[in-house]
Amino acid sequence: MKKRASKILIVDDYHSNRVSLERLLKPIENIEIFHAESGNQALSLIIHNQFSLILLDVNMPEMDGYEVAELITSTESHKHTPIIMLTAHTGNQSALKAYNSGAVDYLTKPIEPTILLNKVGLYVTLDQLQNRTERLKAEKDAIIESIGQGLIKVSQEGVIEFANAAALNMLNQSSSEVLSTQFNKWFSRCDNNENLFTGIQSKIQANSVLQQKVTLKPFNKDVHKIEITCSRKQADQDDDVIVLFQDITQQLAYEAELTHLANYDSLTKLANRNYFNTHLNKVLVDAQEKESNFFLLMLGLDGFKKINDTLGHSIGDKLLVGVASRLTENLPDNAFAARLGGDEFAILIQHPEIHAAENLAKQLVQFISNSFIIQDQEIYIEASIGIADAKTGNYDKSALLKSVDIALNEAKLAGKNRFKLFISEMAEQRSLQASIQHKLRHLLESRDLVVHYQPQFSVNLGEFVGFEALARWPESGYGEQISPGVFVPIAEQSILIQEVGKQVLIQACDQLALWHQENKNKHLTISVNLSAKQLNHPFFLEELKDILLKYHFPLERLIFEITETAILSNSESIISSIHNLKAMGVRLALDDFGTGYSSLNYLQKLPFDAIKIDQCFVRRLGTCKKTEALVKAIITIADACNMDVIAEGVESTMHHQQVVALGCNKIQGYYYSPALPIHKLDEYCVQATQLQ
């Protein structure tokens, strides 16, 4: 007798998905596949066909899978037809919605072929068991015995009446030892000691399916975690329960591994940002309920990018591992550490007192500053830490993270290798800085930055020889005027300093070109400050060449002032840029000499034309013998190197007399004039010439 093929309906609006599913189901014998591209087409097909199983996609236009399932199961002909929902969603809510709509099972995408074959094969098997004649019973039994999952039939009293070979193998028992025994003898719930079968009976409605993870207790074998699928037989037969089960021990281990990968940083093995956020949420809720407090530390490595760039990412990664190891070794039991990404780490310490957080931060700064030996190299790194507490931010996660970030930034601005505790004034200062930065960005976009020019006087020539171009805030259009001592440092903390420098340079070049065109003030130079960020920019020299090509004036009249701090920030790159600048024909001045880690080696290696003595030295002249000796030494060295010396910040007659007496040949400061707006520049030049 020819077998009746089990009809399977695949409902999916994507043709490629239906074809793929049909291809995956090819190994299952004696089935006939039908396709429907929509819910309406599926409803039309069930009128003329009795399907054994329906594979139903959830996400479809016009009518989703849940609605289609409800309509199908509401028909008399298909109210008992098993429906397997195919969904990309995971979790109990998706499963519950599938079951409530009439589905007996569900599979999550991407679909594992083996699981699909097992589940569809089982439902096909059940269909054939229910419909074949007694004459085909032997064939049915053979199919049941051949499936990969365990299958048992349990009576209403919880007695096992049938078990296939796979089930007996998992139980490690013979058929005679299993049949007629209680179901609960072999299976128990994972979470409690509740009578499992009683629970199954109370939850399974007629012809519905229960899917659950339980514990299998085979004799002489390790305990296994299994997943069971339970359903009742057709109502017109009996109320026995069919239990299908498969060993999911390895699957659970794999899921645990995936969970670990999702929550822990693969490099340092610390918790990652995802796990940190989850843990922080829980701790915040707990602290708020108990009205207790805790502290969050945010740690950033100072100069890590430079190590990565110079020594390579392999060294950088090993350094991060070393830092993580020191964190782990030195954290108290009530602390939790995570790597948030890059060189940023978070430490959550559940202690209500600030001294605990400050002591921990102090220890971590000290421990991390000790050298690391990586690939036989001694490497040093320092850490800055910001601290904030949960209570100050009213247990708000966003406020806490913002506060600790502000504190970390303050620690870095204060000189790095230290920690700072967040106080409300920091947030106010950050807000003010953000406002100034926003206005600065706007005025730069509108090209409204103002440039003033401070005269420079030559003692030897007895005349004014140049000006320094200085950025100034416009008088109107952007609120109250802001001092350059405020907005320039804010610009230096961002990329805006590059545009500030560019606009000052262009205005200075405009003035030099105008003088050259009008054939006046030919002896005057204009100095323009260059920041470290400008010099480090990969396209700076190229952009500078493009700017200078637009102008016609002798380039030696343009002087670039570079601070020694800028040179130290990335010496090799900036030294190369300085030589390239000199090759263009401009002149160079070393600004703020003596205020940083002055190196005479730079004077020897770099083609500077002048040294500028910082005003902090000038102000101490006449009151500090050491300062006078240092200034005299600087002037002597400059003379020996054939460089001009310009004293900045000369404001009084005493200052003037002192620097002249020490041999300084150029002077800049309020003694002669403050920085002048451009409309007063020509007038000043005329007056100065007349006075001379």
Closest CA to 588 of 574, 600, 599, 598: 574
3-class secondary-structure state, position 549: coil
The superfamily in CATH containing domain 1-137 is Response regulator (3.40.50.2300)
pLDDT in tens, 190-205: 455 456 666 666 655 5
Residue 62, sorted as left (phi over 0), alpha (psi -120 to 50) or beta, turns out to be left
Top-ranked range on mean pLDDT: pick from 90-104, 369-383, 615-629: 369-383
- Please say if the pLDDT value at position 265 is more than 50: yes
Tokens of 55: 């594979």
Q: What percent of the chain has pLDDT over 90?
A: 47
Q: What value does the mean pLDDT take over residues 572-592?
A: 90
Nearest to 122 by CA among 213, 209, 216, 16: 209
566: which residues sit within 8 A by CB, 6+ positions away? 530, 531, 532, 535, 574
Give pLDDT, residue 439: 92
Helix or strand (DSSP H, E) at 550 = none
DSSP labels, 462-523 = TEEEEEEEEEE--SSSSSS---HHHHHHHHHTSTHHHHHHHHHHHHHHHHHHHHHHHT--TT
Nearest CA among 209, 213, 211, 182 for reference residue 198? 182
Taken in order 475, 479, 484, 487, the sign of the CA dihedral is negative
Please report the pLDDT score of residue 524 as a whole number.
Answer: 93
Amino acid 142: pLDDT: 64
Contacts of 279 (CB under 8 A, 6+ apart): 271, 336, 338, 348
pTM above 0.85, yes or no: no
Q: What is the CATH number of domain 264-422?
A: 3.30.70.270
Please state, rounded to an integer, the average pLDDT across all residues of the chain: 86
pLDDT (0 to 100) of residue 150: 82
Mean pLDDT of 376-385: 92
pLDDT per residue over 220-234, tens digit each?
Answer: 455 566 666 666 655
Average pLDDT over residues 117-128: 87
Q: Fold for domain 451-471+490-691?
A: TIM Barrel (3.20.20)
Residue found by looking up tokens 């397997």 in the block:
84
Domains of the chain, residue spans: 1-137, 148-262, 264-422, 451-471+490-691
Q: Is the pLDDT of residue 598 over 60?
A: no
Closest CA to 89 of 113, 73, 66: 66
The confidence band for 364, taking pLDDT boundaries of 50, 70 and 90, is very high
| Out of 66-70, 433-437, 507-511, least confident range | 433-437
pLDDT at 219: 47
- Please state which CATH number belongs to domain 148-262: 3.30.450.20
Residues whose CB falls within 8 Å of the CB of residue 165, separated by 6 or more in sequence, listed in order: 145
What's the pLDDT band for 612 if we cut at 50, 70, 90?
very high
Pairwise CA distance, residues 471 & 493, whole Å: 16
Q: At 39, which amino acid appears?
A: G
Give exposure, 302-317, as e/b (b: 16+ Cβ within 10 Å): bebeebbeebeeebbe
Distance CA 479, CA 481 (A): 6
The residue ranking higher by pLDDT, 245 or 74, is 74
Retrieve residue 553's tokens. 């004036």
The arithmetic mean of pLDDT across residues 658-670, rounded, is 92
Mean pLDDT of 459-483: 90
